[in-house]
Amino acid sequence: MVQGRDGNLHIRGAGSQNIQYQVDGINVTDPVKGGLQSTISSDAVENVDVVASGYAPEYGEAGAGLVRLETRAPADKWQQSLTDVVPNYSFREHTLSEFTPRLTVAGPLGKRLSFMTDCRENTASFFDEDLPQGTNAQRRISANHIFRTRYTFSDLHLVSATILINHQEFRNAGLNREAPIETTTDMSS
């Protein structure tokens, strides 16, 4: 398994569109371009399993392989973490250049109900030194939130749910000397 120049994964030399991605058993493969459609904070990941061959027929649309990701299980005791709260500062541009805080909270809500939630935001600015200050920034903003809950009826019966929400924006895409800020586009997904 290798990562290509485009940032996508390749298993056994096949293209990223031939890989199926699952989060907690749910297919999150981008139906249009292939590849991973969602992002998840590393703090929320419990296990990643890459299957290059010998997988069951229910994964038949995954010609090259399967990437299964399991998120952290809801906790029986309170746990919390806050990571990367110090932003990067660009002294040349006199502004924040990147900020990626992550918050994870898990714990019980009574005897039978427990949860885990993880929030991550990334704000990054890319500056073109050929353009005047104030009109030379491209910004990428992304956020993801995963919420996982579990209700235990008895030792043998439980119900579990996972909710994953992603949002991405790219402002001033294509900004350069030949394409000033007025001609750029904003993308959102």
Residue range 32-60: mean pLDDT, rounded: 75
Q: In whole angstroms, what is the distance from residue 53 CA to residue 66 CA? A: 8
Q: Which two tokens stand for residue 144?
A: 């993801």
Task: Decide which of 71, 96, 113 is a domain's last residue.
Answer: 71
Distance of CA 187 to the CA centre of its chain: 17
Q: What percent of the chain has pLDDT over 70?
A: 86
Structural domains of the chain, count: 2
> Is the whole model's pTM more than 0.75, yes or no?
no
**Which residues make beta-bridge pairs with 113?**
151
Do 99 and 9 lie in one domain? The reply is: no
Q: In whole angstroms, what is the distance from residue 23 CA to residue 166 CA? A: 13
**pLDDT greater than 70 at residue 55:** no
Which contiguous run of DSSP H or E holds residue 71?
strand 65-71
Do 58 and 94 lie in one domain? The reply is: no
The predicted pLDDT at position 136 comes to: 83
Contact (Cβ atoms closer than 8 angstroms) between residue 112 and residue 152:
yes
Do 64 and 132 lie in one domain? The reply is: no
Q: Give tens-digit pLDDT for 71-126.
A: 888 888 999 999 888 888 888 777 778 888 999 999 999 889 999 999 999 888 88
Domain of 8: which CATH number? 2.170.130.10
Residue range 2-13: mean pLDDT, rounded: 67
The predicted pLDDT at position 54 comes to: 60
Q: In whole angstroms, what is the distance from residue 144 CA to residue 169 CA? A: 12
Q: Give tens-digit pLDDT for 163-175.
A: 989 888 888 888 8
The predicted pLDDT at position 159 comes to: 93
Q: Which of 28, 25, 30, 23 is nearest to 15 (CA)?
A: 30
Q: Give tens-digit pLDDT for 124-173.
A: 888 888 888 878 888 888 898 999 999 999 989 999 998 989 888 888 88
Residue 40 C-beta-side C-alpha neighbours within 13 Å:
27
Fill in the DSSP letter of residue 128: -
Task: Decide which of 41, 71, 101 is a domain's last residue.
Answer: 71
